[in-house]
Amino acid sequence: MRLFPTLAWHNTAALLPIMLLTAPVIAAEPDPLARCTTIPDREERWRCYDEAAAQPVPPPADNEPAKDECGAEYTALSRQWNTLPKCQSNLYRLVPYRQNYIIARYSNSPNNEPNSVNFGRAPDEHLDHTELKFQLSLKVKVAEEIGDFVDLWVGYTQQSNWQAFNAANSRPFRETDYEPEVIATVPLRTESSFFGLTPRLINVGLVHQSNGQSDPLSRSWNRAYVQFGADWQSAATPKQLAFLVRAWYRIPEAAASDNNPDIEHYMGYGDLLMFWTNGQSNVSALVRDNLQSQNNRGFVRLDWSIPIARVPQLRKIGTVEPLTQHELRFYVQVFAGYGETLLDYNHYQTGIGIGFMVTDWM
């Protein structure tokens, strides 16, 4: 094969040292797929693609940092709220918000006759103790670094309770709660810590929640809230602890149209979420309380999950993007108190659910 067809062989021999020096440069292709696109035979071309895909991903250049190297401060809580968009922006990208799961749920006291102050007690619904419960929760960042310090999110959570085993009552959907919200996030980029926890963010939100039913089963309320998030993450072991503390104010409604005027007496004025990861196990606790010494009412839910299957997401050829994985997790949920659903805001029950989770709090 002639690299320089216009030169005679004896002249070419004189160029051999130069050719040997430049050979590594010629062989090193900036794009391993470039040579594949020029192969006319389809089978040879696909074989070339396979060989290029099998090549190891080159390390980043000295002046090009790895894509996801955002520092120790980019913890699970920071990633959940994308507090460092310069590392990996989630702008206009639909991402998980709260937990996404499906469970078979058992209640020791089904709310057969839901009641409220305005409507009284509804007719007996003849509910089964066991039903299917599933939750879908997503959010999307619609603006970031407004005024250099505020991100804007839109979130949506839907929780459904389905009497799937209640054949005598035509297997109805007992309730579906819809919860859209708008959230302004202020990332807290600080090195200070309190009791070992580092502040990460402040959320300010507006949220509407309703069950979409007609009277006498209609329930709804609107709230404005402030939420503070802080966490701790071990540098040596896969352990992390996160807290999200939220206080809300119910936006008043006209008395004639208020389906549940006493809802704060049961659902309280805020909640506390604790999330703990140790290795592959995730544990979380969600707590509400009305903060009243007399007629104290509250709610607590404990969650535990472990991965049972992983589906890797393919890495793009020629990038240094880390290999990520989606997990299917075995999930156990235990709860006690008021407000397990919006229709049950003033009904006390305890129960347990077992099933599968796709995404956890963080």
Q: Hey, which residues are catalytic here?
A: 208, 210
Beta bridge partners of 150: 146
3-state secondary structure the chain: CCCCCCCCHHHHHHCHHHHHHHHHHHHCCCCCCCCHHHCCCHHHHHHHHHHHHHCCCCCCCCCCCCCCCCCCCCCHHHHHCCCCCCCCCCECCEEECCCEEEEEEEECCCCCCCEECCCEECCCCCCCCEEEEEEEEEEEEEEEEECCCEEEEEEEEEEEEECCCCHHHCCCEEEEEEEEEEEEEEECCCCCCECCEEEEEEEEEEEEEECCCCCCCCCEEEEEEEEEEEEEECCCCCEEEEEEEEEEEECCCCHHHCCCCCCHHHHCCEEEEEEEEECCEEEEEEEEECCCCCCCCEEEEEEEEEEEEEEECCCCCCCCCCCCEEEEEEEEEEEEEECCCCCCCCCEEEEEEEEEEEECCC
Q: Which residues face 329 on adjacent strands?
A: 307, 357
Please name the residue that has the structure tokens 């050979």. 23
Other CB atoms within a 10 A radius of the CB of residue 86 amount to: 8
Name the residue among 180, 185, 188 with its Cα closest to residue 204.
185
